[in-house]
């Protein structure tokens, strides 16, 4: 066991201990009197000393000491009762510590590191129990976690481990904390503090690695930067938990087609280590036995199963779920068995001495299990579940009945299309038909020996028969069995018919796409040249789109379904499609085909591993990903003749995606010589296309009119034919050692990379569009985009199916994939606004959101956000003041809407119509497309929006409406808040007070002039004489209470002020101007008063005649005469510091 490091004086212990092993840093010692010399006099003396002098406990006979070459002090770090026990500790030190210590410069650093590592191992051994078993210790860890990393209390800590984090070549010993949403690490050693907080949604790589320096470590890649964690006592356990948490985050945030409120881990506040392990175990159980999603692994027993066909007992595990009893061997025989519990009618205990039980099945079959540790409990469980598992009475069609079932609202075909269009001819003595009958006979023998249907034993012999090819008459039955679709159909009787009734007559985008692709599905086959096949295909695809609207319909589904309908009945084809889309090829059939891209990455990895010659010749393997995409999406149906492709589908339903990967490697291996001679991608594509044209199925019994083998290549004797059976056999012989578990691990590992690659593509496209409109640098834009995106996720971290998750839609244009609502925007805006936070920050953010939300949908995309931020950071004084002015204008006014900086003022140079049209399309102008970005763009609507946008570009500050009394008070309060805390705060306050006083006097003079010349404005109504005491009360600060009187107590008259500023004469009301009613807008109509973004008293909905109003030009001209104000707004802003501050406090702000 590991010991808390204690100092040992070795020179006083030399007589009592013998050194067994040593190196520069560690010594393994054996106490005299134990082992080889235990019988001598010395051994007897030491034994006596241990008994007499050590009164507390017996001294352990083995120990490990730590030493440094330049020190005489030794530290006891481990002890053991046996050589085997202490050797495990010694080997761990050799593998994980020795090579690391060479990077330290001094012995003190080495000793400090070793001591910290040993203490961490001791603490970790104490935390091996779950939080349920040791709640106090775990509660302490949770408090440390919250204190160290500043995460909200809602964040759920899953587990924590002692480990070392590598910064360069120096290890930092500390603790890694794994929570629902974050990977965190903390270390404090040798005066150096290391603190890491990375959200799982930013992790792009997670894998186990080893190197010369690091024996074995976990590599985590975040935003292109690698981080290595090593010296973990339970490295595999840590890696699996990290992998599960990362996968959970990916499914929850990015892969929402498979995540809903019924997900076992739907609530992020209830995620625990035990819950993750149970979820992973259930997933593996369902995937291995191809069971419905409702099944969960309840109990597991190790036992022997008597296998009648080989007359031996095979070792394996019994797995019991709600409705199934399953067995899988562990002795390499590859035998597995699935028994529905409704097929069991009795359980007997024939021999208690061998702990055996017999499970009797319907049809006079029995399964004998022996050496079951808790056989009585297993028998009770099976009996109990047999009573609760009802026998589904699923409709099974009679072979003698009609080809359609009319008892439903729509006619449903109950015959495979191949039987309808090419019935089996029993009297045909063609050699191919004779060979087909031999295959059928082989399968009948297999059924007699191994069973038939759901209780059939699946072994190596079953796979051999699959590789040779399945007979045409048995293909549908075996596809249903091996895919697990038979279990789905049996447990959901009548489901398909109900679906057809529900979706009959419905109209949707998916239905339109299905209609478009119906006649593109195997158009050469007679079955799909008739209404029978087309109607069946339409029903199956429409029913599935109705069942799973998150997937709906995607291209390639029609090709796959048409092949399924050839060999399976219509309802069976539907359940086969369910099995493929939802279990066997997850995430393949969606807008981003994530599953297919993941398997492409797995395929590349296997190419590097197995086809090194090809890898060396082609450094960039992405070509094979693009070429092989159709192979995976259509299971080779789109590239091979139908009579050959069905053999591939046979293997796929038995072995899953592993069969497709193996065949892909075999295809490349077969053509490797020709591929090595290719100079470009076009030549390689030609080579592969010629190869697929040469593939035939010499044993296919299909008529020549149905076979799709190229007639050109059939008559060309120079082209060497390749039989599909031989190709598949070669694939299994060369690459059959690829294990399904290995493929699944590679899938999980590469899914993170694929998701983050798609996210990076989105980011690059958004930044490319936005960069031309703002003055931020590329690095700053990158950081701001990540803050914007993280703000979306922060609001989703701690809620069950948060509504904010709907603001992320990958099917939309790039700009609109991430959008923030008002609450999310306010949090981020307050973190990034360039001025000191003041009391009205929240309402200011609310007004900014309203201003930036041009289309009024309550959401802002990144371009909306960054254009508003660019004004505050990088624009001129006039543009910043215009922004603040518009914040206080009346909501809903067209002129109040903010525009991107390139549209805020007329552009310096015009662009052609086509250029602006393409730019606008790229910018995502059309956000309200009826199908949320999935339908074609409505050109007329697009041109209308483009015209409105063009008109807005031509606007200028003269078109801004006047600001009324309450709004102007709000504007001055905002300015006071903006200036608060500045080093020139007092002079800025005085400047605002002077400008305010001046504007009021100017307005008063203007009113008097209007009243003295009413005859010049016949259309206006006379206004009452404004009295000085009716002037609005202005917001004041302690420093500016007396500023309204002017400086030095000598107020300046409005007339003299006007004369000193002739350039502003156009903004002062004159005798020839129209009457200036306080609420007049540019059109002369009054408007309701704005709820200002300040906490001023509520104002009436209409403005009184005695209220004031000012134009933007008046305010601008007055403030331009105040150098301190101009300097403040023209001052350069430290953008990098503000971004760093926001990044540091974004999580804290979420508390």
Per-residue pLDDT reduced to its tens digit, 797-834: 877 666 666 667 777 788 888 888 888 899 899 889 88
Task: Tell me what pLDDT residue 1146 has.
Answer: 85
Q: Lowest mean pLDDT: which of 14-18, 347-351, 556-560, 620-624?
A: 14-18
Task: Tell me what pLDDT residue 139 has.
Answer: 85
Pick the more confident residue, 807 or 862: 862
Between the alpha carbon of residue 277 and those of residues 182, 245, 287, 365, 589, the distances in Å are 18, 11, 15, 35, 28
For residue 387, count other CB atoms closer than 10 A to its CB. 9
As a whole number of angstroms, the distance between CA 348 and CA 344 comes to 11
Q: How far apart are the first and last CA of the chain?
A: 42
Pick the more confident residue, 99 or 1066: 99
As a whole number of angstroms, the distance between CA 864 and CA 853 comes to 7
Place of tokens 């899938």: 747
Give the helix/strand (H/E) hosting 345: strand 344-348
Contacts of 89 (CB under 8 A, 6+ apart): 2, 64, 78, 80
Are 1034 and 1044 in contact by the 8 Å Cβ rule? The answer is yes
How many H-runs (helices) and E-runs (strands) does the chain carry?
42, 27
Helix 557-567, helix 531-547: angle, nearest 10: 120
Task: Tell me what pLDDT residue 715 has.
Answer: 54
Phi-psi region of 556 (alpha: psi -120 to 50; beta: other; left: phi over 0): left
Mean pLDDT of 1040-1059: 36
Between the alpha carbon of residue 1008 and those of residues 388, 787, 994, 1054, 1074, the distances in Å are 93, 53, 21, 12, 13
Pick the more confident residue, 408 or 698: 698
Are 257 and 587 in contact by the 8 Å Cβ rule? The answer is yes
Q: Is the dihedral of CA 230, 231, 236, 242 positive or negative?
A: negative
Helix 622-634, helix 594-610: angle, nearest 10: 120
Task: Tell me what pLDDT residue 1084 has.
Answer: 36
Mean pLDDT of 82-110: 81
Mean pLDDT of 234-249: 90
As a whole number of angstroms, the distance between CA 1089 and CA 1087 comes to 6
Identify the CA nearest to 310 among candidates 337, 338, 335. Answer: 335
Mean pLDDT of 413-422: 78
- Percent of residues, the chain, with pLDDT higher than 90: 29
User: Is the pLDDT assigned to residue 943 strictly greater than 70?
Assistant: no
Identify the CA nearest to 932 among candidates 854, 816, 822, 821. Answer: 816
Contacts of 527 (CB under 8 A, 6+ apart): 417, 418, 420, 421, 533, 562, 565, 566
Pick the more confident residue, 1091 or 368: 368
Place of tokens 């009391």: 839
User: Is the pLDDT assigned to residue 913 strictly greater than 50?
Assistant: no
Give the helix/strand (H/E) hosting 547: helix 531-547
User: Is the pLDDT assigned to residue 987 strictly greater than 50?
Assistant: yes
As a whole number of angstroms, the distance between CA 607 and CA 625 comes to 11
Per the DSSP assignment, residues forming a β-bridge with 863 are none
Pick the more confident residue, 279 or 100: 279
Beta strands in 619-730 (DSSP E): 695-696, 722-723
As a whole number of angstroms, the distance between CA 794 and CA 1149 comes to 10
Task: Tell me what pLDDT residue 857 has.
Answer: 85
| Strands across the sheet containing 192-199 | 192-199, 182-189, 170-179, 157-167, 225-230, 217-222, 203-209
Give 1020-1028's long-range contacts (Cβ < 8 A, gap of 24+).
Answer: 1020/1074, 1020/1075, 1020/1077, 1021/1075, 1023/1075, 1023/1077, 1023/1105, 1023/1106, 1024/1105, 1024/1106, 1026/1106, 1028/1004
Convert the pLDDT of each residue in 556-595 to its tens digit.
899 999 999 999 999 999 999 999 998 999 888 887 888 9
Provide the mean pLDDT of the chain. 78
User: Is the pLDDT assigned to residue 653 strictly greater than 90?
Assistant: yes
Task: Tell me what pLDDT residue 125 has.
Answer: 65
As a whole number of angstroms, the distance between CA 113 and CA 101 comes to 8
Task: Tell me what pLDDT residue 13 has.
Answer: 54
Task: Tell me what pLDDT residue 290 has.
Answer: 92
How would DSSP label each residue in 1029-1078? Answer: GGSPPPP--TTSTTGGG-GGG-PPPHHHHHHH-GGGGGGS--TTSPP--T
As a whole number of angstroms, the distance between CA 563 and CA 646 comes to 8
As a whole number of angstroms, the distance between CA 924 and CA 926 comes to 5
As a whole number of angstroms, the distance between CA 305 and CA 370 comes to 7
Helix 657-670, helix 642-655: angle, nearest 10: 130
Pick the more confident residue, 816 or 622: 816
For the entire predicted model, the pTM comes to: 0.75
User: Is the pLDDT assigned to residue 1086 strictly greater than 60?
Assistant: no
User: Is the pLDDT assigned to residue 1035 strictly greater than 70?
Assistant: no
User: Is the pLDDT assigned to residue 951 strictly greater than 60?
Assistant: no
Task: Tell me what pLDDT residue 948 has.
Answer: 61
Are 381 and 324 in contact by the 8 Å Cβ rule? The answer is no
Q: Lowest mean pLDDT: which of 636-650, 977-991, 1066-1080?
A: 1066-1080
Contacts of 520 (CB under 8 A, 6+ apart): 558
For residue 1012, count other CB atoms closer than 10 A to its CB. 10
Are 271 and 194 in contact by the 8 Å Cβ rule? The answer is no
Pick the more confident residue, 639 or 363: 639
User: Is the pLDDT assigned to residue 918 strictly greater than 70?
Assistant: no
For residue 944, count other CB atoms closer than 10 A to its CB. 11
Task: Tell me what pLDDT residue 1151 has.
Answer: 59
As a whole number of angstroms, the distance between CA 229 and CA 241 comes to 14
Q: How many residues does the chain have?
A: 1151
Q: Compute the chain's Rg from CA coordinates.
A: 39
As a whole number of angstroms, the distance between CA 161 and CA 891 comes to 54
Per the DSSP assignment, residues forming a β-bridge with 765 are none
Convert the pLDDT of each residue in 747-788 to its tens digit.
999 999 999 999 999 999 999 999 988 999 999 999 999 999
Are 165 and 185 in contact by the 8 Å Cβ rule? The answer is yes
User: Is the pLDDT assigned to residue 16 strictly greater than 90?
Assistant: no
Per the DSSP assignment, residues forming a β-bridge with 7 are 75
| Three state DSSP letters for 697-719 | CCCCCCCCCCCCCCHHHHHCCCC
Helix 778-794, helix 740-771: angle, nearest 10: 120
Which range is most confident: 30-34, 55-59, 654-658, 1042-1046? 654-658
């Amino acid at each position: 066991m590991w010991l808390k490091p204690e100092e040992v004086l070795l020179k006083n212990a030399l007589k009592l201990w013998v050194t067994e092993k040593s190196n520069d840093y560690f010594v393994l010692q054996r106490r005299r009197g134990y082992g080889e010399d235990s019988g001598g006099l010395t051994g007897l003396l030491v034994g006596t000393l241990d008994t007499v002098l050590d009164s507390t406990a017996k001294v352990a006979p083995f120990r490990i000491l730590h030493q440094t070459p330049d020190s005489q002090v030794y530290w006891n770090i481990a002890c053991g009762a046996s050589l085997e026990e202490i050797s495990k500790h010694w080997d761990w030190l050799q593998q994980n510590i020795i090579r690391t210590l060479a990077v330290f410069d001094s012995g003190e650093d080495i000793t400090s590191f070793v001591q910290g590592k040993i203490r961490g191992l001791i603490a970790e051994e104490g935390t091996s129990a779950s939080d349920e078993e040791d709640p106090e210790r775990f509660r302490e860890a949770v408090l440390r976690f919250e204190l160290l990393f500043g995460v909200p209390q809602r964040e759920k800590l899953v587990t924590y481990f002692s480990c070392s984090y590598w910064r360069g070549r120096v290890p930092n010993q500390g603790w890694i904390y794994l929570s629902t949403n974050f990977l965190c690490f903390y270390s404090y050693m040798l005066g150096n503090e290391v603190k890491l907080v990375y959200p799982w949604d930013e992790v792009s790589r997670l894998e186990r690695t080893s190197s010369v320096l690091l024996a074995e470590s976990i590599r985590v890649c975040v935003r292109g930067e690698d981080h290595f964690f090593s010296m973990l006592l339970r490295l595999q356990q840590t890696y699996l938990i990290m992998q599960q948490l990362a996968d959970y985050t990916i499914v929850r945030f990015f892969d929402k087609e498979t995540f809903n409120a019924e997900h076992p881990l739907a609530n992020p506040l209830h995620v625990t280590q035990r819950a993750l392990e149970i979820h992973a175990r259930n997933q593996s159980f369902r995937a291995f036995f191809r069971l419905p999603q409702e099944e969960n692994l309840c109990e597991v027993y190790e036992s022997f199963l008597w296998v009648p066909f080989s007359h031996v007992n095979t070792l394996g595990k019994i797995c019991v779920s709600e409705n199934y009893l399953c067995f899988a061997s562990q002795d390499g025989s590859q035998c597995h068995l699935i028994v529905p519990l409704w097929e069991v009618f009795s359980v007997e205990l024939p021999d208690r001495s061998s702990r055996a039980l017999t499970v009797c099945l319907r049809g006079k079959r029995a399964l004998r299990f022996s050496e079951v540790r808790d056989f009585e409990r297993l028998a009770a469980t099976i009996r109990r579940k047999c009573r609760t598992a009802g026998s589904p009475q699923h409709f099974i069609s009679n072979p003698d009945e009609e080809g359609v079932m009319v008892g439903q609202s729509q006619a449903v075909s109950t015959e495979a299309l191949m039987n309808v269009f090419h019935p089996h001819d029993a009297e045909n003595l063609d050699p191919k038909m004779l060979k087909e009958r031999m295959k059928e006979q082989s399968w009948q023998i297999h059924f007699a020996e191994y069973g038939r249907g759901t209780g059939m034993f699946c072994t190596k012999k079953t796979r051999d028969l699959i590789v040779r090819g399945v007979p045409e008459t048995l293909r549908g039955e075996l596809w249903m069995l091996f895919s697990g679709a038979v279990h789905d159909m049996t447990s959901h009787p009548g489901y398909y018919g109900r679906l057809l009734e529900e979706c009959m007559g419905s109209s949707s985008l998916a239905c339109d796409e299905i209609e478009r692709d119906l006649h593109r599905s195997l158009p050469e086959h007679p079955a799909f040249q008739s209404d029978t096949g087309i109607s069946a295909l339409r029903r199956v695809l429409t029913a599935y789109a109705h069942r799973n609207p998150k997937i709906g319909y995607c291209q390639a589904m029609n090709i796959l379904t048409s092949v399924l309908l050839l060999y399976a009945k219509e309802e069976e084809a539907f359940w086969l499609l369910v099995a493929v889309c939802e279990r066997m090829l997850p995430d393949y059939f969606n807008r981003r085909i994530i599953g297919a891209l993941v398997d492409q990455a797995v395929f590349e990895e296997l190419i590097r591993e197995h086809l090194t010659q090809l890898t060396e010749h082609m450094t960039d393997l992405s070509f094979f990903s693009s070429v092989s995409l159709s192979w995976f999406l259509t299971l080779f149906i789109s590239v091979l003749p139908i009579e050959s492709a069905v053999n591939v589908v046979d293997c796929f339903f038995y072995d899953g995606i592993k069969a497709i990967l193996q065949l892909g490697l075999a295809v490349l291996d077969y053509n490797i010589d020709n591929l090595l001679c290719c100079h470009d991608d076009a030549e390689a594509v030609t080579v592969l296309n010629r190869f697929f044209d040469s593939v035939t199925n010499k044993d296919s019994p299909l008529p020549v009119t149905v076979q799709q083998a190229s007639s050109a290549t059939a008559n060309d004797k120079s082209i060497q034919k390749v039989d599909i059976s031989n190709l598949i056999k070669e694939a299994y012989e060369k690459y059959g050692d690829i294990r399904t578990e290995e493929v699944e691990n590679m899938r999980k590992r590469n899914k993170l990379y694929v998701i983050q690659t798609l996210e990076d593509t989105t980011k690059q496209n958004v930044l490319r569009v936005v960069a031309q409109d703002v003055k931020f640098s590329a690095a700053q834009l990158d950081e701001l985009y990540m803050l914007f995106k993280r703000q979306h996720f922060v609001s989703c971290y701690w809620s069950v199916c948060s509504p904010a998750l709907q603001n992320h839609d990958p099917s939309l244009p790039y700009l609109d994939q991430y959008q923030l609502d008002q609450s999310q925007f306010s949090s981020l805006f307050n973190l990034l606004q360039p001025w000191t936070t003041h009391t009205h920050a929240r309402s200011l953010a609310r007004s900014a959101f309203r201003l930036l939300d041009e289309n009024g949908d309550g959401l802002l995309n990144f371009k909306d956000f960054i254009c508003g931020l660019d004004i505050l950071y990088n624009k001129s004084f006039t543009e910043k003041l215009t922004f603040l002015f518009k914040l206080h204008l009346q909501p809903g006014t067209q002129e109040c809407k903010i525009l991107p900086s390139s549209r805020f003022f007329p552009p310096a140079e015009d662009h052609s119509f086509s250029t602006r049209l393409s730019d606008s399309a790229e910018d995502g102008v059309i956000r309200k497309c009826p199908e949320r970005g999935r339908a074609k763009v409505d050109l007329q609507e697009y041109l209308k929006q483009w015209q409105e946008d063009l008109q807005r570009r031509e606007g200028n500050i003269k078109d801004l409406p006047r600001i009324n009394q309450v709004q102007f008070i709000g504007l001055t309060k905002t300015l006071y808040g903006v200036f608060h805390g500045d080093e020139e705060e007092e002079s800025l306050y005085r400047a605002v007070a002077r400008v305010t006083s001046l504007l009021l006097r100017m307005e008063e003079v203007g009113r008097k002039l209007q009243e003295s010349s009413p005859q010049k404005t016949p259309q206006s109504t006379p206004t009452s004489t404004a009295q000085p005491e009716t002037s609005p009360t202005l917001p004041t600060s302690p420093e500016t209470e007396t500023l309204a009187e002017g400086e030095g107590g000598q107020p300046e008259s409005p007339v003299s002020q006007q004369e000193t500023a002739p350039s502003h004469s156009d903004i002062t009301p004159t005798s020839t101007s129209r009457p200036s009613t306080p609420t007049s807008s540019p059109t002369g109509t009054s408007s309701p008063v704005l709820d200002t973004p300040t906490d001023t008293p509520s104002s009436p909905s209409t403005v009184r005649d005695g209220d004031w109003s000012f134009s933007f030009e008046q305010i601008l001209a007055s403030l331009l005469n105040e150098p301190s104000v101009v300097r403040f707004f023209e001052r350069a802003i430290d953008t990098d510091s503000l971004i760093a501050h926001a990044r540091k406090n974004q999580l804290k702000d979420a508390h």
